Amino acid sequence: MKKKIMIIIVIVLLLCLLGFSLFLFFYNNLERKLKNIGYTNEEVAIILNKVPHESYNEVLNLGYNKSLINILSAKNYLDSNFDLYLNYYMKNKDEDINNIITIMNYNADLINLPASDLLANLVQEKYYINDKVTRYLDYGNSQNVDAKKVIAIVNSNADLGFYNSIYESNLNDNNLILVNKFYALKNDYVPSDLITLSGQYNRAFNNKMRKEAADSFMNMVDAAKLDNIILYNVSAYRDYAYQENLYNIYIKKDGKDEADKYSARPGHSEHQTGLSLDINNISDDFENSDEAVWLQNNAYKYGFILRFPKGKEDITGYKYEPWHYRYVGIEAAKVIYDDDITLEEYYAYYIENTSN
Ligand SMILES: [Zn+2]
């Protein structure tokens, strides 16, 4: 019995030794082959250290390739993506290795798109949405703007041209309902929970807002007062017919192109949502007033956003309106304020986009 066990142990040991010898033989063989191809000792060490075993043959078939070493030495290199990098590199031999690494690390589905600087910059942006990549590239390649701007324009649909494609606003979005030059309300839409702003909170004929927005506005007015800032409504809820009349007056006065820059077409006005209002003074002069500055710094705390900011005209489709605020709720308002984005961009990423 003891003898049998001894024999089994010896056989097992011999098999281990054989396996180890075979491993050493092939390993040394690979090392020798790599050196024959032209890799330096240092490069051979990098290859043996980083290339997955199952990809050794691919590396040998490639012949000497300095780019391979650059891929393996790149900052964000991941062993598990080696085959992807290699495939993508074969299609993009002239592109920056770091672009290849960055793009493949983000999403292997991008393998058929050129490894351009633009694409690499796009995928690193917070509000990048993979479904929109073709539109990003089309817009980015035709306009001289940075990746962040490309994403803002495309996410807001502004690349499609204002009023070119019109969808119905989704009433289920509640406080986050989007009404703009792409999304419209029906002519008979009237919010069901309008309440009247009165007393110190109002100085206007259009004095209704949806309840939650009105309550938040009144809280904000009360808080501002403690800072010696007096705020009041000058135009809140406006129905479809009112906006239609207003827009037609503006067209007669300035023409359609000009009117579209500062006034919404009927159904496209946020004032019809009962979530927007104009505060204190509908005038460009309001911009530098203490009241406007206070609003810019504090409104988000009460769930309001400056809806048509300066420098975002090409995204919102409206010129800067320092007086026009929109209620979206505190959570969304904080993101929009912190990240300096528009409601359009927020909506595309957090509401419409199902892939993140
Ligand atoms: Zn307004």
Each residue of 97-143: pLDDT tens digit? 999 999 999 999 999 999 999 999 999 999 999 999 999 999 999 99
| pLDDT digits 0-9 by tens, 303-347 | 999 999 999 999 999 999 999 999 999 999 999 999 999 999 999
| pLDDT band per the 50, 70, 90 thresholds, residue 15 | confident
Mean pLDDT value across residues 190-198: 98
Ligand 1 centroid to residue 224 C-alpha, Å: 20
Alpha helix (H) ranges present in the chain? 2-37, 41-50, 56-62, 66-73, 82-91, 97-106, 117-123, 133-142, 147-155, 211-226, 240-254, 256-262, 290-298, 313-316, 330-338, 343-346
Identify which has the larger pLDDT, 215 or 8.
215
Query: What does the pLDDT look like over 67-77, one tens digit per residue?
Result: 999 999 999 99
Distance 221 CA to ligand 1 centre (A): 18
Q: What pLDDT shows up at residue 91?
A: 96
Res 310: pLDDT: 97
Mean pLDDT in residue range 277-295: 97
Lowest mean pLDDT among 20-34, 39-53, 250-264, 270-284: 20-34
Q: What rounded mean pLDDT belongs to the chain?
A: 94
Q: Is 95 a catalytic residue?
A: no
Which candidate in 321, 344, 345, 352 is catalytic?
321
Question: Distance, CA 17 to ligand 1 centroid (Å)?
Answer: 82
* Cα-to-centroid distance, 151 and ligand 1 (Å): 26
| Cα 294 from Cα 281, distance rounded (Å) | 14
Among residues 310, 306, 343, 303, the alpha carbon closest in space to that of 323 is found at 306
Q: Which domains does the chain have, with CATH numbers?
A: 2-124 (no CATH), 159-352 (3.30.1380.10)
The answer to whether the predicted template modeling score (pTM) of the entire model surpasses 0.75 is yes
